[in-house]
Each structure stands twice: as C-alpha cells, then as structure tokens.
Structure 1
Amino acid sequence: MTQRRLSFLPASFATYMATLLVPAALLAGCAAPSGGGAGPSSASPGTPAATTAPADILGTWQLMKWEGVNDLPSLPEGRAINLTFNDMGAFAGTGGCNRIFGQYTVGPAKGQVSLQAPAATRMACPDSMAFEDRYLKTLPRVTRFERRDTQLVLRTPNGETLTYASQTLLDHPVAGTAGSMGTTGTTSAARTEDRILDVDSQMADCVGVAQRKCLRVRNADDSGKAPWELWYAHIDGFAWKPGVEYRVKIHGEPIANPPADASNMRWTLVEVIRETPAR
C-alpha cells in the first residue's frame, strides 16, 4: 500500500503544479507588453517626429512660447530669451535682462534632461525682472526635452512647456577653422566665413526685437532631406522674393561688439548660384 502511494505522488504532484503554472503563464503573457511596448502613434499626419538623442539639444535656441499653467508671465516685449547648449555639458543664454549660465546633463533615460539652477549677472531691468525670476526658477524643474525639426521643446513635470526655435545658424563654426595658431602662440578664432546655403521659397514666423518673418535656410543639400532652420541675420545685397528657392554663397565678417542677442557676424551676398521657382 505504501509503495503504491509513493509511486503515484510524483505524477499527482506534476499534474497539480501544471494546473497552477499554466494559467499563471497565460496571465503573464497577457500582461507583458509586446515588442518595445509602443502602441500606434497618436501623432497627426505631417507632424515631424520628435527626436531625443543627446546631440538634438545642442545649439542656440530662442524662446517662442511658454505654455501649460495659468499664471505664466508674458515674454518681455523687445527682449529675446536665448539658451545655448554646448557639447561639454554647459549652457548659457539670456533670461530677459541678465546673462545666465550653468551645467546640464542628458539621460540616462531617453529624452531626459536636467538643468542646474542657473547663475546670472546682476543687472536690473524693471520691465522684465518678474519674467526672468520665474524663468530662472523654472529651468531647474525641466526634466524632459524633444527636438522637432527646427524647434526644441523643454517640459516640466507640472505640465509647463517651453518651445524654442533654432538660432544655431547665426554662429556656425567654420569647417576646418575652429582655431588657428597666431604669432603669440595662442589660438585665435576664425575671422571670416564663407558659406553656401539653400534658401526656402517661404519665410517663417520668428521673434527678435519684435514679431517678424525670418528666412528658412539649410546648408546646400541636393537630397532635399536636410531640415530648414530659421535665419535671423540680415544678408546684405540679397533680394529675396517669395515663391523662389535660392542657392547662395555668402561671406561673413565678425562684428567686434554686436548688440545684445544679435548675430556676431555681418553677412554679405557673394553670388546667387541658382534661383528656381518653387515646385
């Protein structure tokens, strides 16, 4: 009798465990996300996809919109709010009155960013101090970023969204001339710059001293895939016409003491390489 009971225990135990494990596995399979867990995109057709690689935050950006809560201050009239992120983990810019600067880190999660509470110069500007004070307190609360074509979006956990437009093309380094050794043995910045740009057939809204229109440009690109960026600087001698796409060569000369928030280069048209009616 004892032997019979022992001989049936393994089979009975295996059957019992199977009745427990199979439903559990089925439930686990239902709960686990498939693939990477991404569902169908809710973005509307034509919306540029957001990107969040560390390089996507680099460049100079001008604040265009601040949204998300009810008591947001208005952007100071006639003052540009800029942020520049470099590839050494530092940022600098303007807060509406003062120059600001600090450190930032990207990651470890995709699209995650952390900004150190910025230090600032100590100028007093009665027309913009309330805005600047709130802005400087908001930047350290930013936790997410995304790049959408020529825009950078910063987000806080409480739903505030700061949208910036690209201003990087104002201060592009000259390829191959990041610095040259002068007679004193120190490194000096390039003094002039020649560039070839494609210019779009339509302008886009931008903000400088006041709301205005800016050219849309990109480095000469026959593939047509490079994104357009806003060009805030004036190009002397260039007579742009709507509905025409251009490829131009321009020459830049540095400006010793440019106005605040203006380009540090004076650009002059060298040649219109081609002009084509927009398709």
Structure 2
Amino acid sequence: MNNRIAKIETEVEKIEDVRQQLSSVVQRMDQAEHSLAELQQHNKEMENSFEGMGQVVEKVLEKCDLNRNDIEKIEENPMQEKSIIKELQETVLDLKCRSMKNNLVFNGLTYQPSEDCEAKLQNFINRQLGIEYMVTLGNVHRFGKYGRNGARPIVARFVYRKELEHVLKQAYRLKNTNFGINEQFPPEIEIRRRKLYPILKNEKSLGKQARLVRDKLYINGQLYNPENININPADNDREINNQQAPSTPQHREAANSPPIPPRSKRTRTESDTAEKSR
C-alpha cells in the first residue's frame, strides 16, 4: 500500500513538474507574441518610412529629369545659359536660407576651455533675455571668425520656430550691452541686406513702416525695387571670401566643431566693447 502511495506521489510530482514547464512555455509564448507584435509594428513603421523615401526619390528623379532637360536646352541654345544658371543659383541660395531658417547667431559670449556651448547658451537666454523655460535646441557650437573679445560667435539651431521668435522678441533687452542676436543667412544674402540697411534706416526715420525680410525690403507694405541696388559680382565674391577667411586669435580654441556656413552680419544692437569675463 505504501509503495502505491509513493508511486502516486511520484507521478503527482512529475505532473506538477510538467505543469510548471507548461506554464513557463506559455509565459515564453506570451513574451514571444508580444515581441512579435512589436516587431510587426516596427516593420510597419519601416514600410511607411520606405514608402515616404520612395516618394522623395521619385521627386528627386523627376527633378533630375527636369534638370537634364534644362541642360539640353542650354546646349541647344547658349543664349539661355545665363538666365538658367542664375535661376539655379537662386534655387541653391533659397535652399541655403531654408536650411538656416531656424538658426540664430549669438555674439559676445566669452570663450572658456572645455565649455558646454548649449549650457552656456541656455544660461544666457535665461539670465539676459528673461526666458525662464529651457528652449529646445539642436546643434549648438561656435563658428566663423573671432570677435573683439577673442571668441567666435555661437550658432544654435532651434527645434521650434515659436521659441526662436520668442528669443528674437526678447532681444531688445540686449540694447547697450556687449551681446547681440541675429538670424543666420548665407553670405550672398548678407551682402544684399547690407545694401538695404541705409535705405531701411532712412525710411524709418521718415516715419514709414519698413521691414527687411531675407533680402527683400518692404516699405509701407510695398516691395522696394531691388534694381536700384548695384551689386558687382566681383565684389560679391570678394566679400564672401573675406567672410570665410580665417583670422588669428590671441587665444585659440579647440577646432572640433563641424563646419557650417560662414558667420552672418549682426542685425541686432551690440556694443563695441567686449564682454568682461565672468
């Protein structure tokens, strides 16, 4: 009798072991099903992404076909060469402007070895501009030529356009200080803007509403005729080269920032003196 009971207990233990193993298998199956669902969702997102990329590629191919047709027209009719080249240059320039649309250049911030540019800029925005929240920034680094305080300006890409506009609205606080903020533009646009600055100031002094949008001047809502501005192409190239030419600073900082387009001209109020070291 005892042997039968012991045998039954042994069988029950085996059944319990099998039950536990089955429970473990079921648990692993649930995990596998969950992982499979996540993988399927990821694959679906990848498919959507590839579909979007395919549409972009199709548009690029269409643009290439159009460019090929333009090239054929140039070869067939050399008289159209200048106009087409100018149009392509303006297209490239427009793309440059769009790529810099969310960029701001901050001038006057002193350089410190091993500095954290983003932390320095967030602190500047908080203390000097009175913006208490942390703005969302992308790439932040120094670039361009050295300023009068031996430091290069800082360029920052804003993730949100509204935050960039908020910073620009607060830039009036920097009047009569060592600091300056301006939107970033390609050198070609800066040259055109420089030609318009005297006209802009003069029209404002006459009580007219004048504003500069990229390289276009609007006076009382009307576009100013750009043909009144004479730009010598040779002077244009020379000014661009001058902006890109390196200068020798008194204190050299580490050149580990990725290259970006050259520094743009300040459009906000800045003092002529350098910021005192904090």
TM-score (norm 2): 0.30
Name the structure, 1 or 2, with higher relative contact order (CA <8 Å, separation 6+).
2
Greater strand content: 1
Q: Which has the higher helix share?
A: 2
